[in-house]
Amino acid sequence: MLSPDTIRTLTSWLVNATEPSTPTEPPGPATPSDPAERAGDASPAYALLVLHDGEAFDAPPGARCMSGVAVAIHPILVDAYHGGLVDLLPDLAAALTPPHRTAANRPGQPHTVVHQRAAEALTSAFAAPRSGMRLLACAVAYDGIHTDRNPDDHRDVPGAVVMVRRVDAVDVDGRVYQAVRLPGGHATILVDDEPDPLDTPATHTGLAALLTAAVQHTTDAPAGSG
C-alpha cells in the first residue's frame, strides 16, 4: 500500500507532467523503426510515463525520492488505430508480456514488429533507476479537448471547446488519477481511490494492462539488473 505522503508526491508529479507540449513541426513520413523513444526536453504529443520511488540519499532516514521516465510515442503509431491511444495501449501491453508477443499482430493494425520495437524502448523505462526502488504507477500524457462551460450555468448552452493537456495514471494500488491543465491556467487533478469501471478514463484498461506488464518485467528481471 502506498502511504499518504507517497500519494501526495505522486499527485504533484502528475500535475507537473501536464505542462503543455512544445509545438513541433508536423511529423514526416512514417518511420516504423522509431515508434517509441526516450522523450527529450520537449514534451511530446503522446508520452508514456513510468514512475518509481526509493530511499533518498543525503536526506533524513525514511525520506524517499521519486523518479519518472517518459517515453515518447510517435503520433503516426497512435493515428494508425481507430481508437487512438485507447486501442494502442493494450496492444503495447500485449507486446510487452511474454509469451503473447504476437498478440498485437491483428488484421488492420500495425505490424507486430512495430510493437516489439516500441516494447524495446519501454522495457528500459520499466527497470528501476537504481537498486531498491519500487514501481509506483504508469501514466499517459496527451493533448485532448475540453468543453469550457460554466458548471453553475444549468442552461443547455454549449461551451467553448479548447485544447488541454491531460495525464491519466494508474498506481499499483489500483487508484486512478486524471490531471487536466487548461491553456494558461493551473492544472486540476482527480484521484479516485475506488474507481468505478463505468466512470474511468478511456485509457484506464490499457494503462492497467501496461502496469501489469511493468510489474511482471520487474519481477522477472535478473537480480541486480536495472
CA distance 217 to 186: 35
Domain carrying residue 129: 4-220
* Band of pLDDT at residue 104, cut at 50, 70 and 90: very low
65 pLDDT exceeds 80? yes
Which pTM does this prediction carry? 0.77
Residue 19 in domain: yes
CA distance 139 to 146: 19
* Band of pLDDT at residue 25, cut at 50, 70 and 90: very low
111 pLDDT exceeds 80? no
Sheet containing strand 46-55, strands side by side: 36-38, 64-73, 46-55, 134-148, 160-171, 176-181, 187-192
Check residue 163 and report its DSSP letter: E
Residue 226 in domain: no
Query: Contacts from 41-45 at CB under 8 Å and sequence distance 24+?
Result: 43/19, 43/141, 43/165, 44/70, 44/72, 44/73, 44/141, 45/21, 45/75, 45/142, 45/143
CA distance 207 to 48: 9
Residue 148 in domain: yes
Residues 162-196: b if buried by 16+ CB within 10 A, e if exposed: eebbbbbbbbbeebbbbbbbbeeeebebebeeebe
pLDDT for res 184: 79
Least confident piece of the model among 145-149, 164-168, 188-192? 145-149
The distance from CA 134 to its chain's CA centroid, rounded to whole angstroms, is 17
- Mention every residue, 6+ apart, whose C-beta is less than 8 A from residue 159: 147, 148, 149, 150
pLDDT for res 216: 79
Residue from 10, 11, 19 nearest 166 by CA? 19
- Which grid coordinates belong to 163? 485544447
Residue 225 in domain: no
Q: How many domains does the chain have?
A: 1
CA distance 209 to 155: 40
157: amino acid identity, one letter: V
pLDDT for res 142: 93
67 pLDDT exceeds 80? yes
162 pLDDT exceeds 70? yes
> Mean pLDDT throughout 53-79?
82
Least confident piece of the model among 4-18, 81-95, 109-123? 109-123
CA distance 207 to 192: 15
Residue 80 in domain: yes
> Mean pLDDT throughout 30-48?
56
pLDDT for res 34: 47
pLDDT for res 220: 59
In the chain, pLDDT over 90 holds for what percent of residues?
30
**E strand map for the chain:** 36-38, 46-55, 64-73, 134-148, 160-171, 176-181, 187-192
Q: Hey, how many other C-beta atoms are within 10 angstroms of the C-beta on 49?
A: 22
Range from 6-15, 48-57, 117-126 that averages highest in pLDDT: 6-15
32 pLDDT exceeds 80? no
